[in-house]
Structure 1
């Protein structure tokens, strides 16, 4: 539904009226045929119809659009009275700002803020109503700290209220303890499962390390055996080397002795001269 045309000051252009409710457009939409409607009005119309209510041309929700800018500006500039004028509000403002004013208007009817109170009262009279409202609450004057409603004044019993509060606190504490207990048990179970898994992994790692250590010890023993064998071979080679050196020294000594004796024997012989060698040659006999 649109804004009641009787609230407006001065003349309102026919193009700014809803084609269905004939009031001033509220949250308007426009059809391709340029007829305008309040959003609520045209939605309700299209539930039962599929045409424009003004010229009966085919129409559905998908083709509706917002007003042209110039029409929107003309609509926003219209002046109208506050809807609380019958209660005494004399405010006149533009359509663009009327909603903001009416939300804050001192003559607007609002509900009492006390829980359970059914009274609707003008905003300007709210404070005076709260002072006498039978649903207003206050703290117990006897010092128990309990907040009571005015209607409960004669029925309020500090001891009973405190006992009730204590029972509520005890129940709440028991629930919290149970929740904490369940949570701790859940955490302990989770940690226990984690520890078991960790222990299994560590056990596997230990077994793997033992296996690796066994292989390493076997390799070390093999290396030590090979080293001993190599040392023995080196010692044997060194022994053979010494024996060969001793044999070589003996051979060199024998060679020197043989050379010395050979030199002595060669001094007892004088080499033949050329003349003597010629003389000793037999003469050749010529046969005639």
Structure 2
């Protein structure tokens, strides 16, 4: 007994960001961060609207609003008005399986139920009991395509789902090359197509502008005198430079979009006069808004410049104070060193005098001993007085 339609819900998930819209959405419904229609819209304290996931990721990197750079945190983010969510969810989208053949278009809020219940090209579980294979819903009511059958040519086991693919690779079957009309076994046909001499191919420099094409066997003669082939290294270098510049321009454009959010495009009116008036008014509005953003950026720049000048003045003041402190400390050290040198010189002079007096006492005669002793005693008294005076001078220093 085959399961009912409701019991075979599709396991295919829907990525809302990858959906294609029937018409271009209004710029007012686009997220300033991902530039796609809003998904679970939320609003900030500064009245800007973002996707819930986009603003959460942005706040993890920076605690400022991506539009006006004002301080912002998670507590300042609240759900957007229900009207905005309804406008976004009512946008008409194409079925994600349109490449398989589905032509359905519906509101975005209905696309998940369409894939889960109604889309004939969505993948569901096979209807056969015990089979875990996946098939498209339109084929689920038929026989199981995951059963193995025997190939009529090579007698190998092949799933019904892969029979057509197997016939293209079956070693017992042969096919004709559409270029040289020669017959080859299917496994060898793909390799032959890469070297078939009768295949018409383009010049190796066709992407640079050469329009020549001929059979593969005759192409070598053309390549020997083709100017585009000779210029290929230079052209390739210029192509790489252009790609690099395009990436840089894209990055700069994204940064500019963060600073200046995109503006809604002027609507097209049927009448020429109304259209001209609308264009002029929209142009004035966009010009005034651009001037407001320019003034905001200029004021921010002036504030940053004043802050930098203030910090420079404080740094210069600290440098002057530090230089004065070093100068005063150096003067104090110089005075102390001068006193130490004077004390050392006094001690050196006393030491020299004592050594000289002892030498004279050792070389004097006996007759002059008494006189020398008296003189020595008086000199020693003078020496003691000099030493006491020197000690007092050092203590005063």
Aligning the two structures, in what range does the TM-score lie when normalised by the shorter sequence? Answer: 0.3 to 0.5
Query: So what's the TM-score if we normalise by structure 1?
Result: 0.40
Query: So what's the TM-score if we normalise by structure 2?
Result: 0.30
